[in-house]
Structure 1
Amino acid sequence: MKFTLTLFFLLFLISTGYAQNGVIKGRIMANGEPLSYASVGIVGTRLGATSNDKGYYEIKNVPAGTVEVGASNVGYQTEKSTITLTAGGMAVVDFTLKEITSRLEEVVVTGVTRATEVKKSPIPIATISKKEININVNSNIIDAIVKGVPGVSATTTGPNISKPFIRGLGYNRVLNMYDGIRQEGQQWGDEHGTEVDQYGIERAEVVKGPASLTYGSDALAGVINMIPAVPKGVDGKLKGDFLTDVHSNNGLIGTSLGVSYNKSGWTYYLRGTQKRAHNYRNRIDGLVYGSGYREYNVSGTARVDKAWGFSQISATLYDNMQEIPDGSRDSLSRKFTKPVMEGQQDDIKNRPVVPSDELKTYNIGTLHQAIQHYRVYTHNQLILGQGNLNASFGFQQSRRREYLFPTLPDKAALYLVLNTLNYDFRYNLPAWHAIETSVGVNGMWQTNQSKDATDFPIPDYTLFDVGAYVFTKKSFGKVDISGGIRYDTRHLTWNDFYTGLDGAGFGQRVAATTPNAYLQFPEFTHQYHGVSGSIGATYNLSERLLFKANLARGYRSPNINEVGSNGLDPGAHIRYQGNRDFVPEFNFQKDFSFLAYLENLDVSVELFDNRISNYIFQARLSDAQGQPVLDEQGNLTYKYQQAKAQLYGGEFTLNFHPKSLKWLNFNNSLAYVKGLNKNDKLIEQYGDDAKYLPFILPLHFRSELRGTLRKSVGPYTGIYARIELDTYARQDKIYAVDNTETPTPGYSLINVGTGTSVKQKSGRVFCQLFFQVNNLFDVAYQSHLNRLKYFEYYQASPNNRFGIYNMGRNISAKVIIPF
């Protein structure tokens, strides 16, 4: 009886306590229409809600007293209101959110230790939203980022393999991240793409410049952080979207389904995607044999947000069957041919022509890559007073197989399994005299193994990486200052690796005691060290007029291919030779920016000068007669070199958005980078052929005219039409030693597009429609960073065209149905 009375009394006290709490409700509007799925919360607490499809929200159990209520949504300025709530009372707080017309107000998490407005960071950071990703219809997420961020380019091997470059630097110098976890999938390879579901990305953040301070090695050029969608919905109600995407040029068919559920601080999210495409087409080559692919993605997240902080666990599965283009042709008709025999029996110049029915099929050919990438990771935050402790862990496995034997389709030429454990600890100290300081430790442990295959470009290895840093920032009136310092160490080791031949003459891994065993990779152990850091400031001349300056020292240890390679990468058709004596790269970069976000136009000027010590680059090997060194299958040999280098240039943007013509946007950008080889001995020997660095994109100009109706037309809202000019100048400032690179003519492409959202009578969006035509006039061109440009077996051509050309005209349509 006592227990019952006590329990009743406690329940009475609790219910009385709740009865004393109040309710805040209201409506959120934007552009004269209800704004659904906007976030509303009590500042400084975990109390909050999400607006429904009519813009209404309700926050229950709000303690009595004076509280600050904030409303926010992606693409809109956050609004706050202070109210006094009586015990058991109710308050109505309505919000009208304004669209963010300036990227200065955007909040970023990449390259900093705490969420920071772009305008407060002296480091050049650019963002691209889901809206821009959808408008810039592309075959993969990297190509969408390239179109949306000046200064970013990509080396490509067909439409589904793009490796990002930032201001002339790529491969392991650009750190790819998925939701803050570094991507590890054999990034050293020319034809190794980014294993990410393009339809599941909500936004991307790009750091242009050394970001080694917060990320360690491999962020010498910058960071691309691909951030997946964060579900927003009404508590207790299932929410999701279905997407379908079709392209005319290569028959791409993409579909994606995502669903989310929120309840009492818990969030669950699941997405599945499939893409398939046949060979792409251009008017010079016709259908390009070996460029089709089939890709599947699954991702899921569970997250809980409470007063103590949050905890999240996520997993992704990526599976891609990617054809490998060979480039062999008939010498007269220039039609593509295909291998049907092995080894010395395969005469490249007398292969049969590919039948027409094999050029336009979704079946994956015998020559292909099979890539699986598995990832599971967790983000956690514990609030400790005015500070917080953050911990992230991730495990990922990359399985890469390349099949190149037409008579033995199940025999792998390359089979690599890479396991990586990522870890990251960071403590954000409580602010002290307005100084915000963070300390952290992060790194990775990694093992690579070659399985049953015939070629071994790199050895099995073990890598352990750890780095510690301190980062701080403070505002002095109109000046925001931030910077810090970091120390890294990386241990790389492998054991003796012997290879030999099996009974059929194929390569295989063998024991040291096997007769005629070849020691392809002698044992190696090395410790790399590096100190990096940055210091910079932003001067706010006014809210919309800023000057930025940043000095940064970056660090990168040599990757496994640069220091350890000694064999054929069969998918790239290249034999690599590394150098064990390579030392880490260090760079010192100076960034200066001027940003003006005015009433009728935005102007930005970003300039940089990047000096690199011990720069590592590929160079083609030639024999004493100046002819390229080839193996019996015609594969080229590249040997890595190391020298000093300098890159400088910048980006300029000028965007008009006249206040008197709110429907009009005229956006323009110009990007330029020049890369100089500072190896005096090489220049003395080869002259101007060795003057420049390889893989430098030429002057790039993009201009877009977009008109958007401000009012709805029946059920159609947000109707837009756009026309875009994409121009690349001729690139003749190349690394021409041994014909490593050849000049690339300039070209201009015209792209057009339109789109709209279709609303139901309730005001809820029924679907979004996007229609795009890229390369409207079907221009035949080769990007300077297109690897297929060099897939050529003849010294002469009947049509005077060499290598493989980029994609021709492509008509695409995308439909997104939210529910």
Structure 2
Amino acid sequence: MKNLLCLLAVFSVITTASSQNTLTGKIISKNTNEPVPATIYIPQLEKGTVADFDGNYTLNNLPDGLYSVVFSSLGFATVSKKINFSNETSLTENIEMQETAVEMEEVIVSTPFHKLQSDNVMKVERISTEKLNASGAVTLADGIKNIAGVDIISTGTGIGKPVIRGLSSNRVLTYAQGVRVENQQFGDEHGLGINEAGVESVEVIKGPASLLYGSDALGGVLYLNPEKFALSGETHGDLSSTYFSNTLGTATNLGIKTSGQKLKFLARGTYAAFSDYETGADYRVSNSRFNEKDFKTGLQFSGTKFKSTLRYNYNRSNIGIPEEIGEQTQSKDLELPFQEIDNHILSFDNTLFFNNSSLDVKAGYLFNDRREFEDDTDVAALRLKLNTLNYDVKYHLPQFGNFETIIGVQGMFQKNKNEGEEILIPDAKTTDVGILATSHYHLEKVDFQAGIRFDSRKIDSEAARNAVDEDFIPALNETFTSFTAALGAKLDLVENFSARINLASGFRAPNLAELTSNGVHEGTNRYERGNADLTNEQNFQTDVALEYRNEHIEFFANGFYNAVNNYIFLSPTNETLDDTQVFHYLQDNASLYGGELGFHLHPHPLDWLHLESSFETVTGKLDNEDYLPLIPANSLRNTFRVEINDGKTRKATSAFITLENTFDQKNISNFETRTGGYSLLSAGVESSFKLQKVLFKIGLNGTNLTNKQYISHLSRFKPEGIFNIGRSINVNLKVEI
């Protein structure tokens, strides 16, 4: 006890005596010399403020170190400046901001050096959940398919799994609250298990990200940025509700956040319920109903020597399992069979600031409890419990000239246990560890980034079922190792025109289902047999991105070629068991190639007018020229958008109309069928009004306005000929204080 008191005393002295720096200044428009009430934010510290109406700002209690300070305001080009703080200095930084019609840039969090997208070596797509919701998305997964190069494998409206450039399942890694999400979400009947409320934005890395995140990031990363805390000295609350006409669904969430100089708190609760969705053929898909409860909270302490953030998320999803088109009802009450899934995410993120370096220490605990009720609501026929503890430690070395370098170690301890009569995968323990180093080199016109990593994953599973039975699963003890590397460059070729070239390798260790399956997978009506001899999937991707941007137009062209060695896939056999065809897991080399092309026109001085268009294509083949399954069809999206801002009472109004053309998918695997093309029309309008200190937002949008009868190639209901969702008119109301 005496030693503990001494340690606390030393700690108190250190934090009291630590340096407290101050940054002040004035922000004006370069064009007019008028003050700009911009936001000033330091991403690494998660500390910021807003300039007053005269453009003046002050940031206090800043620790020693070299930090990027971001100045942003709607209608102006975002400015990022490196500023060195030391020895209790008071610095002045006056900023002139250039007016532009380009949308305000945000800091990219999913890559390690916290760069603006225009400065980032890796091409990362970023979109706010507010924008996704305005498009009429029912769920978070439904919204991300609006990002070029991203689609979803859907099971009705309640379940969606991301597909990035043709790769899905365990080849795409999801991050939330800064920790990797491990909730077996990529089984056939598993969704993300995360509600969009309390998620501020979504970032998508399209391509191998094993250097940063290890196994399962072979195809890309879906990075969910949590809601930011309020700025120091501010308290905010909001209440919003959305109604969806097609499912008669409602989604309501309530949030509050408050911040002092050092201590910050937020909390948000959500409830959503939906009935069976109605198709364009005017029938409802029986038992496609679902409901969701979600609670998120966070606490942060920010000092001059360290910053600690504790976040917790609880989510319960009840999702019906459709079997056939039956009774037509608008009920939201659960019917058998259905799933009940509890998902807990606890994350603890700490940063220690030294004079010219910092240490980030993250820890996460995740508990996923999945129950499936078939004949009885009291006893789960299938129950899977998954406990995961993961950690991520990174040291940002002192900057040496133009070099920024990070070294780190990441790992995971995981235990999977069955408690139901049915067994999908055996009880198992997984241990994961990875060591990485990455460096960024900055010049005036060129940025380079490179890194290397070593990973080891050990899977130790128990035997399942009776050894004399045909569906016996033997015990497994395997270790998978891999080296991965990445090299990239961003070049400012001429004024307003830049290029990115990235070469990256990735890997994925085979999962338990692929290694040990031996039984009927009810969701796919297949008898699946695993292969204990499977090895790592290893890939190498070349990615080239070109971008031109001025005050009138943005243009981008992205191309990629992805060579995957030992690609794991299911292949049908001539054998049948339990009256079901047997599929087994095989490996062969594969390749995927394609890209995205698009432009954004916003003619100056008509800053309120936006014309956006994007085209995406991907092709996937095995070495024997057979096509890969679950590859999205080519698509073209065109949007006309109007945005009017800076009203006195009416703060902002926006409206859009979008036509999405999905082409025929003829490039199909051996057990798929051709899917016809279709066109979907959507539109919406949103406006916000401010009365005193209360901001009101109201939105109206419609999806599939022509009530088109269509089936997505990536719909799990496609083999039964069940259509996707028909027309839906959605209304949203939000109040912010």
Instruction: Confirm or deny a common fold (TM above 0.5).
Output: yes
Shift of 1:200: 1.4
Going from structure 1 to structure 2, the CA distance change for 1:103 and 1:173 (only over 3 Å counts) comes to: farther
Show the counterpart of 2:658: 724
Letter in 1 for 2:144: I
- Identify unmatched segments of 5+ residues in structure 1: 1-16, 84-89, 328-335, 338-353, 500-511, 624-628, 684-690, 793-802
In 2, Cα distance between equivalents of 1:142 and 1:807: 15
Question: SS of the residue aligned with 1:697?
Answer: coil
In 2, Cα distance between equivalents of 1:22 and 1:552: 41
**Equivalent of 2:710 in 778, 781, 806:** 781
Show the counterpart of 2:673: 742
Shift of 1:190: 1.5
Q: Provide, for residues 565-608 of structure 1, a one-character-per-residue CA deviation record: whole Å limited to 9, x for no partner.
A: 11234455443221101000000100011110122111100000
Q: Provide, for residues 366-398 of structure 1, a one-character-per-residue CA deviation record: whole Å limited to 9, x for no partner.
A: 210000001111111111221111100000011
Q: How does 1:432-443 map to 2 (within 5 A)?
A: 432-443=400-411
Show the counterpart of 1:675: 620
Show the counterpart of 1:488: 455
Going from structure 1 to structure 2, the CA distance change for 1:772 and 1:568 (only over 3 Å counts) comes to: same
In 1, Cα distance between equivalents of 2:510 and 2:82: 54
Going from structure 1 to structure 2, the CA distance change for 1:401 and 1:69 (only over 3 Å counts) comes to: closer
Question: SS of the residue aligned with 2:153?
Answer: strand
Question: Does the Cα contact within 8 Å between 2:682 and 2:702 map onto a contact in 1?
Answer: yes
**Equivalent of 1:381 in 351, 361, 386:** 351
In 2, Cα distance between equivalents of 1:402 and 1:298: 22
Shift of 1:54: 11
Does residue 138 of the first structure (1) align with residue 137 of the second (2)?
yes
Question: Does the Cα contact within 8 Å between 2:151 and 2:164 map onto a contact in 1?
Answer: yes
Shift of 1:443: 1.7
Shift of 1:243: 1.1
Going from structure 1 to structure 2, the CA distance change for 1:37 and 1:662 (only over 3 Å counts) comes to: closer
Going from structure 1 to structure 2, the CA distance change for 1:168 and 1:412 (only over 3 Å counts) comes to: same
In 1, Cα distance between equivalents of 2:448 and 2:68: 28
Show the counterpart of 1:392: 362
Question: Does the Cα contact within 8 Å between 2:40 and 2:69 map onto a contact in 1?
Answer: no
Going from structure 1 to structure 2, the CA distance change for 1:282 and 1:49 (only over 3 Å counts) comes to: closer
Question: Does the Cα contact within 8 Å between 1:455 and 1:569 map onto a contact in 2?
Answer: no
Question: SS of the residue aligned with 2:295?
Answer: strand
Going from structure 1 to structure 2, the CA distance change for 1:316 and 1:73 (only over 3 Å counts) comes to: farther
- Identify unmatched segments of 5+ residues in structure 2: 1-16, 84-89
* Superposition RMSD in Å: 3.3
Q: Provide, for residues 74-115 of structure 1, a one-character-per-residue CA deviation record: whole Å limited to 9, x for no partner.
A: 8964559999xxxxxx999997866775579532121x3221
**Equivalent of 1:457 in 408, 417, 424:** 424
Question: Does the Cα contact within 8 Å between 1:37 and 1:53 map onto a contact in 2?
Answer: no
Show the counterpart of 2:561: 609
Going from structure 1 to structure 2, the CA distance change for 1:312 and 1:664 (only over 3 Å counts) comes to: same
Shift of 1:120: 3.1
Show the counterpart of 1:509: none
Question: Does the Cα contact within 8 Å between 1:673 and 1:699 map onto a contact in 2?
Answer: yes
Show the counterpart of 1:527: 479
Show the counterpart of 2:3: none
In 2, Cα distance between equivalents of 1:21 and 1:518: 70
Question: Does the Cα contact within 8 Å between 1:25 and 1:59 map onto a contact in 2?
Answer: no
Aligned length: 709
Shift of 1:666: 0.3
Of all paired residues, the percent bearing the same amino acid is 31
In 2, Cα distance between equivalents of 1:432 and 1:264: 32
Question: SS of the residue aligned with 1:281?
Answer: coil
**Equivalent of 1:307 in 304, 308, 312:** 304
Show the counterpart of 2:700: 771
Going from structure 1 to structure 2, the CA distance change for 1:766 and 1:601 (only over 3 Å counts) comes to: same
Going from structure 1 to structure 2, the CA distance change for 1:567 and 1:100 (only over 3 Å counts) comes to: farther
**Equivalent of 2:629 in 690, 694, 716:** 694
Question: SS of the residue aligned with 1:492?
Answer: strand
Q: TM-score, normalised by structure 2?
A: 0.89
Question: Does the Cα contact within 8 Å between 1:458 and 1:567 map onto a contact in 2?
Answer: no
In 2, Cα distance between equivalents of 1:367 and 1:658: 54
In 1, Cα distance between equivalents of 2:74 and 2:725: 34
Question: Does the Cα contact within 8 Å between 2:102 and 2:551 map onto a contact in 1?
Answer: no
Question: Does the Cα contact within 8 Å between 1:455 and 1:570 map onto a contact in 2?
Answer: no
Going from structure 1 to structure 2, the CA distance change for 1:74 and 1:638 (only over 3 Å counts) comes to: farther
Show the counterpart of 2:106: 106
Question: SS of the residue aligned with 1:432?
Answer: coil
Letter in 2 for 1:579: N
In 1, Cα distance between equivalents of 2:384 and 2:356: 46
Question: Does the Cα contact within 8 Å between 1:28 and 1:51 map onto a contact in 2?
Answer: no
Question: SS of the residue aligned with 1:143?
Answer: helix
In 1, Cα distance between equivalents of 2:637 and 2:397: 43
Question: Does the Cα contact within 8 Å between 2:61 and 2:304 map onto a contact in 1?
Answer: no
Question: SS of the residue aligned with 1:520?
Answer: coil
Does residue 160 of the first structure (1) align with residue 161 of the second (2)?
no
Q: Provide, for residues 502-535 of structure 1, a one-character-per-residue CA deviation record: whole Å limited to 9, x for no partner.
A: xxxxxxxxxx7xxx77772111101101111111
Letter in 2 for 1:361: S
Letter in 2 for 1:254: A
In 1, Cα distance between equivalents of 2:170 and 2:70: 41
Letter in 1 for 2:355: G
**Equivalent of 2:729 in 775, 797, 811:** 811
Going from structure 1 to structure 2, the CA distance change for 1:23 and 1:487 (only over 3 Å counts) comes to: closer
For the pair shown, the structure with the greater C-alpha radius of gyration is 1
In 1, Cα distance between equivalents of 2:30 and 2:423: 58
Going from structure 1 to structure 2, the CA distance change for 1:47 and 1:665 (only over 3 Å counts) comes to: closer
Letter in 2 for 1:486: R
Going from structure 1 to structure 2, the CA distance change for 1:551 and 1:786 (only over 3 Å counts) comes to: same
Question: Does the Cα contact within 8 Å between 1:50 and 1:232 map onto a contact in 2?
Answer: no
Question: Does the Cα contact within 8 Å between 1:250 and 1:281 map onto a contact in 2?
Answer: yes
In 2, Cα distance between equivalents of 1:312 and 1:392: 9
Shift of 1:270: 0.5
Question: Does the Cα contact within 8 Å between 2:273 and 2:292 map onto a contact in 1?
Answer: yes
Question: Does the Cα contact within 8 Å between 1:52 and 1:234 map onto a contact in 2?
Answer: no
Q: How does 1:114-153 map to 2 (within 5 A)?
A: 114-147=113-146, 149-153=147-151
Shift of 1:137: 2.0
Does residue 289 of the first structure (1) align with residue 218 of the second (2)?
no
Q: Provide, for residues 209-230 of structure 1, a one-character-per-residue CA deviation record: whole Å limited to 9, x for no partner.
A: 0000011000001101011110
In 2, Cα distance between equivalents of 1:388 and 1:21: 17
Question: SS of the residue aligned with 2:381?
Answer: strand
In 1, Cα distance between equivalents of 2:619 and 2:23: 60
**Equivalent of 2:604 in 659, 664, 671:** 659
